[in-house]
Copies of this chain bind each other. A is one copy, B any other.
């Protein structure tokens, strides 16, 4: 049953050193505020999972929180490389980063299988390509009816899933809409979950019959953080801060510049800074 906590309490309660952590969000609803708190609490040896690791993972990796990254597309969308991720992979700075690389289809299926309580996912994929040569977690399985060879990968079952959503109600149920990505799957696949939301409401209304809702008993901790997805966006609340994504390229390019920026903008700040960003970027 979900509990309403402060962000610091929520991270303490759900994320431990050495955990496998999936912070998901497909451009939309990326849980940046929660990621900052993980950095402030100096979590170590995390195995990070995400289909599309972007800035928040670049920050976690650059601050030495992670030993491993499982991903399918790692970049700053429309801008370029993730310099901290590349520095960790290529130079082991600040600490070596093991990578497990998949395709989007593979990871989407692996989350889906995790949500479904299965040990593995099967799909038609990885045909004629090199990733199976460098990733031992890509195997083949034969359809017992047709003889077709399919790809098989382990289900993703993280210790904790971290997502950002539009709303929670006072009973601790969570509502999201728009580009919903794999967030519901990640929460259902995980042992624990931390959900930050734009607002807590009395009722989800207007209620549609088939809305995307995570019941309170599937969620561990909920934190209200207006703007908590910034520089990502929350449909209905504020737009994506594209300028921030572009600016990140220069900030992350240099180790010292990165560390200084993190000190000023993350380590010495708290989740309250996100509300101002929401206000600035609120849709007209």
Contact = CB atoms under 8 A, between A and B. Distances in A.
Nearest to A177: B209
A180 to B, nearest CB: 7
A139 interface: yes
A118 interface: yes
A26 to B, nearest CB: 13
Which of A180, A210, A235 lies at the interface centre, i.e. has the most chain B CB atoms within 10 A of its CB?
A: A210
B124 A145 contact: no
Interface string A117-129: 1111011100000
Nearest to A137: B145
Instruction: Provide the main secondary structure of the chain A interface.
Output: loop
B120 A143 contact: yes
A17 interface: no
Interface string A210-222: 1110000000000
A9 interface: no
Contact of A148 (B119, B137, B209): B119
A265 B248 CA distance: 71
28 contacts: A117-B124, A118-B143, A118-B150, A119-B148, A119-B150, A120-B122, A120-B143, A120-B144, A122-B122, A137-B145, A139-B144, A139-B145, A141-B141, A141-B144, A143-B152, A144-B152, A145-B152, A146-B154, A177-B208, A178-B209, A180-B210, A206-B206, A208-B208, A208-B211, A209-B235, A210-B210, A210-B211, A210-B212
Given A139-B144, A206-B206, 5 more contacts: A118-B123, A119-B143, A177-B208, A208-B208, A209-B235
Interface of A: 116-120, 122-124, 137, 139-141, 143-146, 148, 150, 152, 154, 177-178, 180, 206, 208-212, 235
